[in-house]
Amino acid sequence: METSGERAGNTVSFWERTAKKFQSAPLKENLNADVCVVGAGIAGVTMAYLLARENRQVVLIDDGPLGGGMTGRTTAQFVTLVDDGYDKIEKLLGEECARLCAESQIAAIDRVEAIVNAEKIDCDFERVDGYLFLPPGGSVTDLKRELDAIHCAGLPDVERVDRVPIGKFNTDGVLRIPRQAQFHPLKYLNVLAQRIVDLGGRIFTGTRVVKVEDGERVKIETSDGHTIIAKAAVVATNCPINDRLVIHSKQAPYATYVVGLRVSHETEHSILWDTAMTAEDEKQKLGPIPYHYIRFARDEQGDVLIVGGEDHKSGQASDCEQRFAKLERWTREHFPFVGEVTDRWSGQVMEPVDGVAYIGRNPGEKNVYVVTGDSGNGMTHGTIAGMLIVDLIAGRENPWTKLYDPARKTLKPAVIADYIAENTNVAAQLRDYVTPGDEPSADKIKNGEGAILRDGVKKIAAYRDEKGALHKFSAVCPHLKCIVRWDSCEKTWDCPCHGSRFDALGRVLNGPAITDLQPLDAANQA
């Protein structure tokens, strides 16, 4: 097993298969800096790059390599439409917020394009048309309402068209959204990392941060006992590691799945996504929609069609193989020209309760900033975070400050209903303390598999490695004590509450937890 530090799961994404990740030495001393950025995905790397460009002494830290989190497992589509739709944002936050939101999404794509051109980054960046389409039975009235809201938000070029230009779709409604974009995320990060270093920034990988303490000088502590003192710190760990509950109660983690299939002939690239939502999702008010998102990417042998979807609340489903199979079936049905499966992987997105990301000053703190709640728009939100937080640190005004403020409260009944539904769902996970284990005993666990066992009143996370040795941990998540669950595709322990994930050997992969699952008994064998 080499998930920890390398990848956020057992599967390998298209990007991980086709590019290496930037690594450097771990931090081995105490440091001073202007800004310490924790987390080197698109948000942290963009931030560190923009800070270095402003001649700030920046230190960028990650406990894995660069892009080892969700940026290495994304599908990297840049879209100006937000996941929850402008109609919802307008209703919840008002017309001006919807307008600012659209403005920031456009500016993010433009900024990435400008960086790619300025730094001459060979990362397969291309502008493409986007198509949003209704699934069978989808509401044309809703689509029309969304189109009105899109226009009102400041995207006049979005138009209704007759059909989706590729694939076999029987749909009553399609929108064409011009000038969207896509790229290879790891190739982009690798060049930015080199530029950060060229500009005098320092990057330390394989270094886990365990504490970020606000003050006139922020104190950042690593698990090896080293300290960085900085004028400001940015926590860009996707799921904040410095917040116990405030932000985690306002967002929810969802797992999402991706398959890549070989394309036999080249097609003009475009990106597509649908608005599929089941009546059950609507009824349960569990936030996002199990929609499909689609793009092309190119490897040495030609094009691969990449299709994502089949979302569910993290740690709350144990049928990953079926989800991959369903996605593959759906892809073959709609794109009959695809051949063999080249890639499959999954990851996690954080869904904010009011549809807008949390980017800015950490609630109640002065010099610590966070970026999270990206939903499926992490490429633009990560870039917006770089632009916005760099302004905040410099004391410059930024028109998007209020919109993305992590401390904002939205008191609309629909937001409160979602907030209650998500937090009731979290509370319901505590029933795991009284349910039986997945298996009656460790003997039943096959090599390379894991299961939750019951030992009296305790729940144990047990993993049998490929050689047959059993590794046992407390199944209690070190964040707020929910019981983790086994993901047999990624070979991870996933917390069903706020998004913490651990590799098979209990090592924390992403926050809010900052410590590993507690190993049980010294030998840790049975």
Please report whether residue 82 would count as binding ligand FAD according to CB under 6 A: no
Please report whether residue 514 would count as binding ligand FAD according to CB under 6 A: yes
Q: With CB under 6 A as the contact rule, which of the stretches 86-94, 345-353, 361-369, 394-402 interacts with ligand FAD?
A: 345-353
491 vs 498 by CB, closer to ligand FES: 498
According to CB under 6 A, which one of 100, 109, 121, 258 is a site residue for ligand FAD?
258
Distance, CA of 54 to CA of 524 (rounded, Å): 50
75 vs 256 by CB, closer to ligand FES: 256
What, of ligand FAD, ligand FES, none, does residue 497 touch, CB below 5 to 8 Å by kind?
A: ligand FES
What, of ligand FES, ligand FAD, none, does residue 73 touch, CB below 5 to 8 Å by kind?
A: ligand FAD
Please report whether residue 71 would count as binding ligand FAD according to CB under 6 A: yes
According to CB under 6 A, which one of 4, 15, 18, 39 is a site residue for ligand FAD?
39
Q: Which residues have C-beta within 8 Å of that of residue 328, sequence separation ≥ 6?
A: 259, 261, 341
Distance, CA of 289 to CA of 310 (rounded, Å): 9
Please report whether residue 512 would count as binding ligand FES according to CB under 6 A: yes
Nearest to 69 by CA among 509, 485, 517, 525: 509
Q: Give a three-class secondary structure readout of 357-392.
A: CEEEECCCCCCEEEEECCHHHHHHHHHHHHHHHHHH
Q: With CB under 6 A as the contact rule, which of the stretches 27-35, 59-67, 117-125, 140-148 interacts with ligand FAD?
A: 59-67
What, of ligand FES, ligand FAD, none, does residue 498 touch, CB below 5 to 8 Å by kind?
A: ligand FES
What, of ligand FES, ligand FAD, none, does residue 76 touch, CB below 5 to 8 Å by kind?
A: ligand FAD
- How many of the chain's residues bind ligand FES (CB under 6 A)? 12
Q: Please report, as residue ranges, which positions from 95 to 124 form the binding site for ligand FES (by CB under 6 A).
A: none
Q: Which residues have C-beta within 8 Å of that of residue 356, sequence separation ≥ 6?
A: 82, 89, 93, 97, 101, 373, 403, 404
Question: Shortest gap between Cβ of 350 and ligand FAD (angstroms)?
Answer: 7
Question: Shortest gap between Cβ of 473 and ligand FES (angstroms)?
Answer: 14
Strand partners, 474: 460
Angle at 410 between CA 408 and CA 414, to 5 degrees: 150
153 vs 452 by CB, closer to ligand FAD: 153
Which amino acid is present at 11? Answer: T
C-alpha distances in Å from residue 370, one per residue of 29, 180, 236, 406: 25, 26, 6, 8
Q: Please report, as residue ranges, which positions from 459 to 498 form the binding site for ligand FES (by CB under 6 A).
A: 477, 479-482, 495, 497-498
In this structure, what token pair is assigned to residue 45? Answer: 């790397």
45 vs 164 by CB, closer to ligand FAD: 45
- How many of the chain's residues bind ligand FAD (CB under 6 A)? 44
CB 377 within 8 A of CB 320: no
Nearest to 88 by CA among 423, 417, 497, 389: 417
Is the C-alpha dihedral spanning 280, 479, 2, 504 positive or negative? negative
Q: How many whole angstroms from its chain centre is CA 162?
A: 33
Please report whether residue 64 would count as binding ligand FAD according to CB under 6 A: yes
Q: Which residues bind ligand FES (CB under 6 A)?
A: 477, 479-482, 495, 497-500, 512-513
Q: Which residues bind ligand FAD (CB under 6 A)?
A: 38-44, 61-64, 68-71, 73-77, 208-209, 236-238, 241, 256, 258, 293, 308, 347-349, 371, 374, 376-380, 382, 510-511, 514
